[in-house]
Structure 1
Amino acid sequence: MPLAFSSPPLTITQAHQLAGFFAVSYVGSLYLFKNARLSFTSQQQPTEDGKQRERSQGERWRDDPAVIRARLVVVSVSSALSCLALFVVIWNITGGLPETLPDSIDSTIARLGFIIPSPLQEAILPCLIAPVLFFAPLYVQFLDCAFPLQVAWSLKYSVAPYVCTWTGWRNVIMGPITEEVVFRGCIVAAYKLAGVSEMKMVFLTPLWFGLAHIHHAWETYNRYGRTAAALKRAVFGAVFQTIYTTLFGFHCAWLFVRTGSLLAPLTSHVFCNIMGLPMPSEKTRRHPNRKITILIFYVLGIVGYILTVKKWTEVKDNLYWRSEGSVARY
């Protein structure tokens, strides 16, 4: 059991400040160092509406391998420093004395979610909730014969793009790990120390996660030629991505608060990044003869999610979710 407090040791204002620091330092690290920053030429040729322009010599775009490598380094360092900052806060709360150091370290590790729930069932079931929701996309993948051991699956085309490319490392490995550590572990821990309720931790903390994606609009605006159409695309994309990532953040925050572990939100993050957006129109267009079945599976996925999202996340001895009749701990 991690070191807990009988009353909130932080104020709400202090929690907001800590959360802001964690979020800003994560995003800010992408622009603080030259190698991680994007760069665009000042002279850009307007493009046809809806079309991305050609990359000019000397520009640094988000998917350039050198940019990805640099950004993976800086966000990893930023995430580690955020964990260290949380530890300093907890250690300072306990008095900052040498004798409180071991308990402060153990408490920081637990509050960050660097634990696996026990028994094994409590660790595995929360990780299966996202696949239940994606019942229809998984069915379409089966129709595409893209499951392991099916004819369209191979190590070269189904696995290598995620583990042997820099975009794969960013999208399904280091991106999810660092984002979950900062936007779930660090930020939720700060609000827990301020005595925020479970539901507020679930529905308040993901707002930081959603807002942290707004900066992508600048790249979109430049990639599409800095025209009025490019601005419209950038604004629309930023709004959509903010809404989508916030909604996804609700899901991951729920898993984290309910289980007290990063395992379920991290596996869900990786899974959803691999699967992409669940687009019913695109799926039914690929298999028009299975349209009704696919749509039914979408409904079943939503129903299954509703039925499992609470039942499958019941974890005993969880600091973040107070069980009925237990004493409040912070």
Structure 2
Amino acid sequence: MSPPPTLTLNTTSAHLLSLLFSLTYVGSLYISKHSRLSFSSSATTTTNKGDRARAREKEHSERWRDDPDVIRARLFAVCLATTLCCTIFGGVVWCGLGFSWGELPSALSQTLLLLGFSLPISSGEILPHLITPTLFLGPLFSGYLGGQLPFQRNWVWENHVTRRFCTLVGVRNYVVAPITEEIVFRACILSIYHLSGASTLKMIFLAPLAFGLAHVHHAWDTYNRYGRTPSAAKRALFTSLFQLTYTSLFGFHTSFLFLRTGSILPPISAHIFCNVMGVPDLGWELGVFRNRRGAIISAYVAGVVGFVLQR
């Protein structure tokens, strides 16, 4: 990113605004009764011999995360929250830089520039979009071996595209969530820290923690869906810790992309790509393609090396 304008926030103000943006985004999911989840207080589930909880059946009166009406309400809520966060950020820029009403276009231009709303115009701005796919060379190679890549023998348009992307769950997972989360947790929060004069290292490794912590609320969903048992509590705890770690690591990566390019587009494309690919499962891939283990491991190593070199 370019040096911050003459406006410089203090660290405390940056922390408070970062907290405000995070609470605005996550809180938007719970303000309306239509977007809130509801669970039966008496719903429980059985456990097997290993005391491992099984997901229970949904009761008719409950509202779960993947219910169509809940998804619709939450999509509207996060879009509204994202707009509000951008507006608040614009207000900070407006007041901090002392723009007048006659300078509205200039204030808007400065806000959009800081938030990284720009289109790629050269190959140098397109290449950052390839960094994340390079890291996934291993999983992509395994997908190739299984014939799962686009237009291969086991790739079916209806299964891999229509049923995956053209549904409410798909729109949430691969369109609205990546775009809104990156705008709030990357563009708004990182730009606020940028205006505070924070170092690049701090922005890469501290700001993404807000993104990781914003996913902790999913623990309540997991705990209820698995029956509110001790095993359900353990599952919720470990799932949340894993998600916190994974999302924080991912946040480090996308923060670097945003700070390197000054554009929000590479983080958004990286987010969408990672959501599509999911968490790599090297053990499963090595078990399925036993005769290609060396090639798979080599692809994973090449992906990591290529990822590091591109950065």
TM-score (norm 1): 0.90
Q: Which runs of 5+ in 1 are unaligned?
A: 310-330
Alpha-carbon contact 1:162-1:172 (below 8 Å) kept: no
Residue equivalent to 1:97: 100
- 1:80 matches 2:79: no
Most deviating of 270-279 and 157-166: 157-166
Q: Which amino acid aligns with 2:109?
A: D
* 1:227-306 superposed matches below 5 A: 227-306=229-308
- 1:189 matches 2:191: yes
Most deviating of 288-297 and 183-192: 288-297
* 1:1-330 superposed matches below 5 A: 5-6=5-6, 8-48=7-47, 49-118=52-121, 120-309=122-311
- 1:53-98 residue CA offsets vs partner (Å, 9 max, x unmatched): 1111111111111111110100000000100110011001122421
Alpha-carbon contact 2:190-2:207 (below 8 Å) kept: yes
Change (3 A) 1:288 1:12: same
Separation in structure 2 between the aligned mates of residue 202 and residue 227 of structure 1, nearest angstrom: 38
Alpha-carbon contact 1:40-1:59 (below 8 Å) kept: yes
SS in 1 for 2:34: helix
Separation in structure 1 between the aligned mates of residue 120 and residue 44 of structure 2, nearest angstrom: 55
Alpha-carbon contact 2:255-2:267 (below 8 Å) kept: yes
- CA shift, 1:286, in A, is 2.0
Alpha-carbon contact 1:3-1:103 (below 8 Å) kept: no
Alpha-carbon contact 2:4-2:194 (below 8 Å) kept: no
Separation in structure 1 between the aligned mates of residue 187 and residue 286 of structure 2, nearest angstrom: 38
- CA shift, 1:4, in A, is 5.1
Change (3 A) 1:3 1:198: closer
- CA shift, 1:176, in A, is 0.1
Most deviating of 45-54 and 9-18: 45-54
> Please, what is the CA RMSD of the aligned residues?
1.5
Most deviating of 128-137 and 286-295: 286-295
Separation in structure 1 between the aligned mates of residue 137 and residue 22 of structure 2, nearest angstrom: 32
Q: Which runs of 5+ in 2 are unaligned?
A: none
Separation in structure 2 between the aligned mates of residue 4 and residue 296 of structure 1, nearest angstrom: 42
Separation in structure 2 between the aligned mates of residue 158 and residue 53 of structure 1, nearest angstrom: 27
- CA shift, 1:100, in A, is 2.9
Separation in structure 2 between the aligned mates of residue 189 and residue 100 of structure 1, nearest angstrom: 21
Separation in structure 2 between the aligned mates of residue 306 and residue 137 of structure 1, nearest angstrom: 17
- CA shift, 1:236, in A, is 0.7
Separation in structure 2 between the aligned mates of residue 146 and residue 37 of structure 1, nearest angstrom: 36
- CA shift, 1:163, in A, is 2.8
Alpha-carbon contact 1:94-1:100 (below 8 Å) kept: no
SS in 1 for 2:216: coil
Alpha-carbon contact 2:18-2:189 (below 8 Å) kept: yes
Number of equivalent positions:
307
